Amino acid sequence: MKKKMSIIMMLALVALLPTALAQEVEVTSLTRLLEGVEGPAYFPVLNSAGDRLLFSTENGALKLYDFTDNVTTVVTRDYVAGNDACFGGDGKVYFVTQQTGEDRLIYRTGQCYDAATAAVTRLTEPHHGTVKAVATTRGGGMKAPGADRSWASITGNGAWTEGNRVHVTVDGKERVFSPVDSWAGYLWASLSPDGQRVAFFAAGKGIVVIDLRGQVVAMLGNYEMPCWYNNDYIVAQHATDDGHQFTSSQLMLLKADGTWSRELSKPASMMMHPTCGGGKIVCTTIDGLLYELHINIYQ
């Protein structure tokens, strides 16, 4: 009798399994941001609360939009390359400007913007070579990849890439990993909200998720620009090109364990450069149109 009951229970569980595991996502709202107020906007970056947004203008100036006050502020009119700006854990903006010197070489300067005082502080002198803005849970700082050099104390937890290495700081102590082979290196490293995993892009491999010991815990597929939506999901870009220009680009929602993926926009939408914070997603299009998305994930 017990054996018969066990079989019945197993059959019932199997019958329920597809329903229990089935997941879907719905885009509940899609809103154009700063329409008629700003020109083309690129490389959006949300803070963790989702109430402030960084973006680059067509000429490379860096601006900050406050959702609460509905006000846009110029952080700098100097050129800031894409992905060279971030929010630190202290709420300040860390960014790198570029200038061409009299010797025709490019010099980069690390700087910090405090929205509370509207003050910009120079963190480095102009440096010929790469300078990278690094966000951490306690603040931010600047690193010079390829050299044992940093500016501003990098404390707390954070992650960044250098070539085919991913650097992870845990309580200010740096760890360096090369968990997968990549013919052209790594990009776009970020910590999960709980600080326990790092997602990054490896050329030829796609999005990789590792733990704080550098062990691969998931491979999410050949997508780009991963950003953590929450501890369980990642939003990424899936773009195609013909070798000269983009032919399609869409947003994807990926489960961080690699078991599930769904599209948030169609390939023809040309949506790219996703960023997440405070339960919202912001992206831009190939034409520089900013959009805010809200989603519902359900079973």
Can you give the pLDDT of all 299 residues of the chain as single tens digits?
444 434 333 333 333 333 344 589 999 999 999 999 999 999 999 999 999 999 999 999 999 999 999 999 999 999 999 889 999 999 999 999 999 989 999 999 999 999 999 999 999 889 888 889 999 998 898 887 654 455 555 778 999 999 999 999 998 788 999 999 988 899 999 999 999 999 999 999 999 999 999 999 999 999 999 999 999 999 999 999 998 999 999 999 999 999 999 999 999 999 999 999 999 999 999 999 999 999 999 97
CA distances from 251 to 40, 134, 269, 274, 296 (A): 19, 25, 9, 7, 15
The whole-number pLDDT of residue 82 equals 85
pTM score, two decimals?
Answer: 0.89
The whole-number pLDDT of residue 127 equals 86
The whole-number pLDDT of residue 95 equals 96
The whole-number pLDDT of residue 144 equals 77
CA distances from 67 to 154, 276, 280 (A): 28, 14, 12
**Strand pairing report for 140-143 and 224-228:** unpaired
